[in-house]
């Protein structure tokens, strides 16, 4: 079984990714490999950030690894928060601060369409590959649900009646930006075997 290091300190993402890979591979977190690192994330695109994070971990460890970066793009906000999704409400802000900020900005706006885009950069046997997943949907009027993380309580994927935060993990993973990018990565790896 392949072992891949996932370049994140986000325990929610780690749990999702492990649920997606199941027994297909062993996913090591940074704490599993005892790497206490502040991963840089200073690029202006989500692809740039995914590459930067994966290269940083590869340079430190030499291990097969991958990193993901996600942006929530809201049409009425001209694609914001986009690459700034993590710190939209300011440096050191919480998930809740970000959610409140977008709900305030969308007050009275009819077009609530949005999408999540996730880019995964894999470095496998020294070679880089990029996988992208996207899910379209809308920002709800209020928060609902306690599952997931980040903007999940206010993002309802198209054709669904629940927000990501109301869904069981398997449902979110089957529809989500990260789930779709992960499936592409798993297919790529299976073709190499």
Q: Which of 64, 68, 69, 152 is catalytic?
A: 69
- Whether 64 sits among the annotated catalytic residues: the reply is no
DSSP β-bridge partners for residue 122: 66, 129
Residue closer to ligand IMP by CB (options 1, 78) is 78
Q: Least separation, in Å, of the C-beta of 191 and ligand IMP?
A: 26
Residue 27 Cβ vs ligand IMP, minimum distance, rounded to whole Å: 16
Q: Report the residue number whose CB is nearest to ligand IMP.
A: 150
- Look at the chain and count its residues: 193
Cα(176)–Cα(72) distance, rounded to whole angstroms? 12
C-alpha to C-alpha distance for 16 and 131, rounded to whole angstroms: 17
Helix (H) or strand (E) holding 135: strand 127-139
Nearer to ligand IMP, 137 or 148 (CB): 148
Tell me the CA distances in angstroms from 124 to 11, 33, 66, 183, one per residue in order. 23, 17, 8, 16
Interface residue list for ligand IMP (CB under 6 A)? 10, 68-70, 72, 85-86, 95, 98, 148-152, 164, 176, 178
E strand spans, 49-126:
65-74, 81-82, 113-124
Nearer to ligand IMP, 90 or 108 (CB): 90
Nearer to ligand IMP, 108 or 168 (CB): 168
What are residue 73's DSSP bridge partners? 81, 115
CB of 92 to ligand IMP, least distance (A): 12
Q: Nearest distance from residue 107's CB to ligand IMP, in Å?
A: 20
Pull the structure tokens for residue 131: 């996988």
Point out the residues that are catalytic: 69
């Amino acid at each position: 079984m392949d072992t891949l290091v996932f370049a994140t300190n986000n325990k929610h993402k780690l749990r999702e990714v492990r649920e997606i890979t199941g027994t297909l591979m062993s996913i090591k977190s940074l704490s599993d490999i005892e790497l206490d690192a502040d991963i840089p994330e200073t690029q202006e695109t989500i692809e740039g950030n995914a590459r930067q994070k994966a290269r940083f971990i590869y340079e430190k460890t030499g291990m097969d690894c991958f990193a993901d970066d996600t942006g929530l793009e809201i049409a009425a906000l001209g694609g914001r928060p986009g690459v700034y999704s993590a710190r939209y409400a300011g440096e050191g802000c919480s998930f809740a601060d970000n959610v409140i900020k977008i709900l305030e900005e969308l007050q009275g706006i009819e077009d609530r369409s949005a999408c999540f885009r996730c880019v995964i950069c894999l470095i496998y046997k020294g070679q880089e590959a990029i996988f992208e997943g996207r899910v379209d949907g809308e920002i709800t009027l209020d928060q609902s649900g306690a599952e997931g993380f980040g903007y999940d309580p206010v993002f309802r994927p198209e054709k669904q009646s629940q927000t990501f935060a109301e869904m069981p993990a398997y449902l979110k993973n089957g529809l989500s930006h990260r789930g779709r990018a992960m499936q592409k990565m798993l297919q790529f790896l299976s073709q190499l075997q």
